Structure 1
Amino acid sequence: MAGKFEVYEDKAGKFRFRLKSSNGQVVAVGEDYETKSAAIEGTKAVQRAADGATIDDQTG
């Protein structure tokens, strides 16, 4: 089973998303958005950005 994005409304009434791995562990959390549709667009932006992304190790 693949991971999934969950879109939810936080206690402040803002919309957010979190990415969960197939075992249910949260691996990423998005910023807050004013609308649910903006949060969904945020998930799509992460999917596009992650496609083919490389690791840039800046630890030295």
Structure 2
Amino acid sequence: MAGKFEVYKDKAGKYRFRLKAGNGQIIAVGEAYESKAAVMNGIESIRGNAAAAALVDMSEADAPAPPAMR
């Protein structure tokens, strides 16, 4: 089964999303959005940018900072 985005309203009435893996495990959550249109734009942004996003490993103590942070 493929992963899926779930859109829902939180207790404060804000729109949120979570991304679930095929096994049902939550692997990402979004911030609170004021409108359904805004949460949908957030999901589309992730879909459009994730495949081309760089991986920056910050786990090594002596690793240099990425260029944008220098």
Q: State the TM-score, normalized to the length of structure 2.
A: 0.79
Larger Rg: 2
Structure 2 segments unaligned to the other structure (5+ residues): 61-70
CA RMSD in angstroms comes to 1.0
The 5 A counterparts of 1:24-43 are: 24-43=24-43
The 5 A counterparts of 1:18-57 are: 18-57=18-57
Question: Per the alignment, in what secondary structure is the counterpart of residue 46 of structure 1?
Answer: helix
Structure 1 segments unaligned to the other structure (5+ residues): none
Question: CA offsets, 1:6-54, max 9 Å, x none?
Answer: 0000000000000000011000000000001110111111111111323
Measure the CA separation in 1 of the matches of 2:23 and 2:58.
Answer: 29
Tell me the residue number matched to 1:2.
2
Measure the CA separation in 2 of the matches of 1:26 and 1:9.
Answer: 16
Q: State the TM-score, normalized to the length of structure 1.
A: 0.91
